[in-house]
Structure 1
C-alpha cells in the first residue's frame, strides 16, 4: 500500500477535490436555499455531503483498490434550486432526500428496480435535466445586466479559462468572484466569521407531494447523470467495478447525511477521470490513492464549510446564482445534445424540456416530474403507434 502512494496521485487527488468542491458548492447552497433551508441548515448540508462523500471515496478506494471518486449530486442540487418551497418546508425536502437515498440503496440491492429505471429513455432523462438547468444557466447573464461591474469580470474569467482548460473555467470564475467581492463588498464582517459550525439536525417529514416532486426526480437524475456515467468512466480506464454495492453504499451515505441537510451523494462522473487517468499514476493498479487523497481533502473542506458559506453570503444573491449557473453550462450542453440524439424521440424530449423549464406545479408537485411524465406518455404512445403501423404493413404484405 505504501509503495502505491506517490506525488502524482496526491496532486491528482487534491486537484480532483478542489475542482469538485469549488465548481459546484455554490449550486448546492443555492439548491438547499431553494427548498427552504436557512443559512445554518445549508451550511450543515454542505458539511454533511462533503464529509459523506469523502468517507465513501476513501473506503471504496481502499476496499476495491480502484480510484472510485464520490461526489454530491450536482444535477439534483440544480433541481432543488428550481423546485420551489415544498409544502412542509425544508423538513419535507429532507424527507424527500431520505426517500431518494433509499431508492438508490434498493437499486443496488434489487435488480428489477434498476431495470425499471432503465425503461426511462435516456433522451427524456437528459431533457428533464436540461429543463432543470436552463433557468439557472440564464442567471449569469441576468446578473451582468443587473450588476455589470460585479458579474462581468466573473463571466469573462470563466470564458477565458475555459478556452485554456474546461476544468479550470469554474475555479477561475470563483477566483474572480472572490476578487470582486474583496473590492466591492463589506468585508469587515470577515473578522467575526465562523469557519466551523456544528451540524444542524432536521427531523424528516414525509409528504406525497415532496416525495413525488422532489424525491423521485432526484433519484432519476442521480442515477442517470451521476451513478451510471460514473461507472462508465471507470470502465473506460480499464477498471471493472461491480456497480450494485457502490450504488447501495452511496445511497446509505445519502440517507445518513439527509437529516443534516444533505440532498444526496453519488459516484463522481467528471472528476472521476482526474483520479483514474495516467496523470494520477502510470500504473493503473496504483491510482486508487488519488481518490483516497481526494476523500481526505473533501472531509477537510466539509469541516470548514461554514467559512466558505460565510464568504459567499457577502455577495448579492444574483451573483451567487450566476456563479452556480456558469458551473452548469457544460452540463446543459451535454444534456441538450443527449436529448436530441435520436430523431424519432425529439418531440417527446422537447416537450419534457419545455414543461420542466416552465416551472409549472400541480398538487404541490414540481415541473420536473410532470415534464418527465408527459414526455414518457407521448414517447410510449408514438412507439405504440409506430408498432401498429409496422404490423399493419406486414399484414398487407402477407
Structure 2
C-alpha cells in the first residue's frame, strides 16, 4: 500500500479517466446498436453496460496492479459493429451463445501460449508502424474537428501548447478541464434529460445455434483479435512493457465467458485508450504508469454501476471535444512510435508498407487492416532478406 500511495499521481489518474471517457463516449452507441440487433430491452441494455463496466474495471485494475504496467482493456468496438449487422435474425439467448464461444476461443488461444510467441516474432518497428496506422486518424481528427467547432478545438489545442511549455506533466489535465468547462457553459448544453438511477444485472441462459456460432462467433473472435488485441500488444511493446500477452488474452477471454450471460459480449486489450495511459503524459516514469490502468479500472466500475446515468452524461459532450481530447492525448505516442518505426534503415520499407496498409483501412475477408498491415510488412521484410541465387 505504501508503494501504491507513493506512485499515485494526478496525471496518471486523469489519464485513466480520459481513457474511460473516450472509450465510452466514442463507441457506446455502437454497443447499443448491437444490443438492438438481438432485440435487447432497456433493462438488458443497462445490464450490458454494467457487465462491460464490471469486466473492464476488474481486468484493468487487477492486471495493472499485478504486472505493474498500464494494462487497459475494452469492449470490442469492431466486434459490436459486426454483431449489429450479423445477428439480426438471432434470438437474444442465441447471441449469448455466440459471445461465450468467441470468448472461449480467446481463452484457449491464450492458454496455449501461441499468441505470445506469435507477437514476439514481429519486429518492433513493424509493430510500431502498425500502431501509428491505427492512431493516425485520431491525430488528424484534432484538425478536422476544427471545421465544425473551431472555437472549442482551437482553445483546447492552444491550451495544450501553453501547458506543454509551462507544466508538461499536467498538459492533458489542463486540456480536459478546458473541454469540460466549454461544454458546461455552452449555450446548447442540456443536462436536464440525464437519468439519475442505478441499473440491475439481467441474466440470460445461452442457447447454442451452430450456424450462428460458426458464422458469427468465429468472425467475432478474428475481428477482436486482429483489430483490438494485436494493436493492444503493440502499445505495450512500444512502451517497453514486457507483459506475457498470452496471459492477458486468457483473462479477457475468461471474462467474456463469465460475463456474456449478463451482456459482456467481448473483452479485449485496448489500443487507443491504452496508448493514452502508456505515454509520457500519464507519468514521466514508465514504472509508475500502472496507476493509470488501476484508475481506469475504478472509473470503469463507476461507469458500470451508474450505466444509464453515465451514458446520458457522455451524450452531452460534443463529438469534437472527444475527438480533440483523444488526438491531443495521443500526440506523444504517435510521435514516439513514428520514430521507432522509421529509425532503423534496414526496416524502414517494411515499416512503411505496414503503416500505409493499416492507415488505408482495407479489410479482406472481414479481417481488419491492422492484421494485414503486419502481414504485408513481414512479407516485405522476408523478401528483402531472401538470398537470391542466380
Q: TM-score, normalised by structure 1?
A: 0.69
- 1:277-309 superposed Cα distances (whole Å, 9 cap, x missing partner): 7998xxxxxx99998787555523442354443
Structure 1 residues 31, 94: closer, same or farther in 2, change over 3 A?
farther
Q: Find the counterpart in structure 2 of residue 264 from structure 1.
A: 268
Work out whether 1:225 is the aligned partner of 2:226: no
Greater CA deviation, 203-212 or 13-22? 203-212
Q: Find the counterpart in structure 2 of residue 396 from structure 1.
A: none
Per-residue deviation, 1:357: 1.1
Structure 1 residues 301, 164: closer, same or farther in 2, change over 3 A?
farther
Q: Find the counterpart in structure 2 of residue 284 from structure 1.
A: none
Matches within 5 A, 1:10-159: 12=8, 16-23=12-19, 25-31=21-27, 33=29, 48-56=51-59, 59=62, 67=68, 70-72=71-73, 80=78, 85-86=81-82, 89=85, 105-106=107-108, 108-159=110-161
Any unmatched runs of 5+ in structure 1? 236-240, 281-286, 393-398
- Mapped partners of 2:222, 2:319: distance in 1: 28
Q: Find the counterpart in structure 2 of residue 362 from structure 1.
A: 364
Per-residue deviation, 1:134: 0.9
Taking only aligned residues, the RMSD between alpha carbons, in angstroms, comes to 4.7
Structure 1 residues 338, 276: closer, same or farther in 2, change over 3 A?
closer
Are the aligned partners of 2:255 and 2:267 in contact in 1 as well (CA < 8 Å)? no
Are the aligned partners of 2:157 and 2:175 in contact in 1 as well (CA < 8 Å)? yes
Matches within 5 A, 1:213-292: 213-226=223-236, 228=237, 232-233=240-241, 245=247, 248-253=250-255, 256=258, 259-260=263-264, 263-265=267-269, 271=277
- 1:327-370 superposed Cα distances (whole Å, 9 cap, x missing partner): 22222122212211321111121111112112233343332232
SS in 2 for 1:313: helix
Are the aligned partners of 2:69 and 2:290 in contact in 1 as well (CA < 8 Å)? yes
Are the aligned partners of 1:212 and 1:369 in contact in 2 as well (CA < 8 Å)? no
- Mapped partners of 2:146, 2:303: distance in 1: 30
- 1:181-212 superposed Cα distances (whole Å, 9 cap, x missing partner): 12225334435434644568898962655544
SS in 1 for 2:8: helix
Greater CA deviation, 350-359 or 149-158? 149-158
Structure 1 residues 178, 129: closer, same or farther in 2, change over 3 A?
same
SS in 2 for 1:364: coil
Q: TM-score, normalised by structure 2?
A: 0.71
- Mapped partners of 1:201, 1:113: distance in 2: 31
* Alignment: residue pair count: 363
Per-residue deviation, 1:16: 3.6
Greater CA deviation, 363-372 or 246-255? 246-255
SS in 2 for 1:184: coil
Q: Find the counterpart in structure 1 of residue 92 from structure 2.
A: none
Any unmatched runs of 5+ in structure 2? 37-41, 89-94, 207-211
